Structure formats: structure tokens, C-alpha cells
Amino acid sequence: MRIDLHTHSSVSDGTDSPSELVAAAAAAGLDVVALCDHDTFDGLDEAVAAGPGVGVRVLRGLEMSAQHQWDSVHVLGYGCRADDTALAAELARVREGRNGRVPAMLANLARHGMPVPVDVLQRQVGASPSVGRPHIADAMVELGYVADRREAFDTWLADDRPIFVGRYAAPLGRALDLIRGAGGVAVIAHPWGRGSRDQLPPALLAELAAAGRLDGLEVDHQDHDDATRVELRALADRLGLLATGSSDYHGLGKADHGLGCNTTAPEVLAAISERVGERGGALA
Ligand code: AMP
Ligand code: FE
Ligand code: FE
Ligand code: ZN
């Protein structure tokens, strides 16, 4: 059984619509796929409805923007009730922060000789309620300023590059508690990817695990090298945390990590499913 527990659609910063994503999951030979768009549940009904037609089990996921001591942390939530008012309010606040920083980033781009007209950006954002830097990157590609998303991030948009502007994200503990409070299972996405290792030391993860606030760690992810995966898996085992794996598929924009390039063990999905059931959430 092939299970990919973290993918994106055009409802956030992926390029496939939710139903296209599910069709692509079937074509990639997946049995189970979780859609985890950034800070929104809006693609889930379409994705879940597309599952039976192509023989894929679609799980309801989320990737929530959190922060710990001002460093960005992404938290995956599985099986959250979308109508939970506390979680919905926090997600709305995060999306407001996403919208709110766009003018400052566009001003930075203009200052660096790369004006991006609002209508060009809007075309990239489309109907997504969750605007992100990949949309800005795609607008920069469209206007010929950079060759691809990677160059846009490496040169201009990454957290330490000149165009970047910060935004609101939920304090990590609050994000975990809101996800679990909405019936979900909370897993930290790519915990030690892109230099974030120092921000999430074992002692912090141990504290969250001991307090019962954290369910798991995403171990098999393209931002973790082999040695990091070995270490993270051992840490998850020691702390009694679930270890997941995923492609973090975004469609065309990041074609280097295709659906199913990393997967999650069936026992881990069974544990997630059982916890969602206990908490009154809805996984599919
Ligand atoms: P934002 O949601 O605006 O904070 O942008 C973060 C998103 O940009 C992530 O979810 C990734 O999809 C993408 N991203 C972040 N860093 C990079 C990078 N270095 N190269 C390519 N994409 C990235
Ligand atoms: Fe993303
Ligand atoms: Fe992420
Ligand atoms: Zn992701």
C-alpha cells in the first residue's frame, strides 16, 4: 500500500486543482493521498469527492503556518473538523497575514527593478484563499525576471533574501493544540529541513511529546538528507512519536519531487486514523 501524506493543490501554492491532484495520485500508483494545503481546508471536499472515481483514498489534511521564537514551523493536521471555530479563526488570521504582507513584497520587488503588476500576481493566485511566495515567484517567472521558482527563492524570496517580508503565524504550541482540539492529529512537517534543525531541538520536541501535544514528525521528506532521516526516526521512536513520509508535492512548480517519492507506513496511517476517531475528527 502506497501512502503519501502531504501534498498541495492550486487551492494554496500547488499547481494541480484538487481533482487533478487526486487523478495524478492514481496515475502515480498511490493508494492513499492526503491533501494538506497551506492554511485552508477549501480544496478538501473536491479532492475527497474525486477519490472513488480513480480508486484513491483521499485524506483530509492541512499544513498550518506556525512559528517558534519567530522561526517558521509548518504543522500538518490530519482529520481536523473544518467547522471547528477556534481553528477556523486562527487560520483566517494566518491568511489575513498572508494577504497583508503582499503590498510590502511588491514594493520591495519594484525597488529592486522588478515591478509585478497586481493583475499578474492575481492571475497566479487565481481562486486560492492562501496567497504565498510561490505565487509571487511564478509571477516573476512569467515576467522574465527569473528562470524558475527555485531561482526566485534562492535569490530573492527566501527568509534571508531582500524581497522577503514576514507574516503572522500561530505560536507552535497553539497550532498543535488547535489541531488536536479540532479532532486532528498534529505532525510537524519537515522539522529539520532547510536549516530549521537548530529551531526545533530534541529537547523541545521531547517536551511537546511528553505533554501529549504532538503526535508525530515528518521524517521522510526531500529536505532531509539520509543521515537526518536516520536521526529523526530514532528520535521519533524514542519519544513515542509517529514517523511519516511524503512528497510535499506542489505540481509543476517543484517538479523535482513527484507524488509518492516518499511514503508513510500503513501502521502509521492506522495509528493516525485511530487517534482521529478517538478525538472526534473526520479523516475522509
Ligand atoms: P509562504 O507560504 O509565503 O511562507 O512561502 C513558503 C512556501 O514557499 C513553502 O510552502 C514552499 O512551497 C515554498 N518554498 C519555501 N522555500 C522555498 C525554496 N527555498 N525553494 C522553493 N520553494 C520554497
Ligand atoms: Fe508550499
Ligand atoms: Fe511546508
Ligand atoms: Zn507542504
Burial class from Cβ neighbours inside 10 Å (0-12, 13-18, 19+) for residue 177 reads middle
64 with 74: CB under 8 angstroms? yes
CA of 250, closest atom in ligand 1: 12
Domain boundaries, the chain: 3-92+172-279, 102-157
pTM of the model: 0.97
How many other C-beta atoms lie within 10 A of the C-beta of residue 36? 30
243 with 233: CB under 8 angstroms? yes
DSSP class of residue 205?
H
**Ligand 1 pocket: which of 10, 153, 196 to mutate (most atoms within 8 A of CB):** 153
- The ranges of the chain with pLDDT < 50 are none
105 with 136: CB under 8 angstroms? yes
**Ligand 1 pocket: which of 12, 130, 133 to mutate (most atoms within 8 A of CB):** 133
What are the cell numbers at 87?
A: 481553528
Structural Rg of the chain based on CA atoms: 18
Q: Which CATH architecture has domain 3-92+172-279?
A: Alpha-Beta Barrel (3.20)
Q: Vertex 127, ends 126 and 131: CA angle to 5°? A: 75
DSSP 3-state of 252: helix
- For ligand 1, whether the C-beta of 14 sits within 6 Å is no
pLDDT of res. 257 = 85
DSSP class of residue 129?
S
pLDDT of res. 255 = 63
- For ligand 1, whether the C-beta of 13 sits within 6 Å is yes
Distance CA 181, CA 81 (A): 9
Distance CA 26, CA 57 (A): 10
Grid coordinates 508525530 are at which residue? 216
> What are the tens digits of pLDDT across the range 63-108?
999 999 999 999 999 999 999 999 999 999 999 999 999 999 999 9
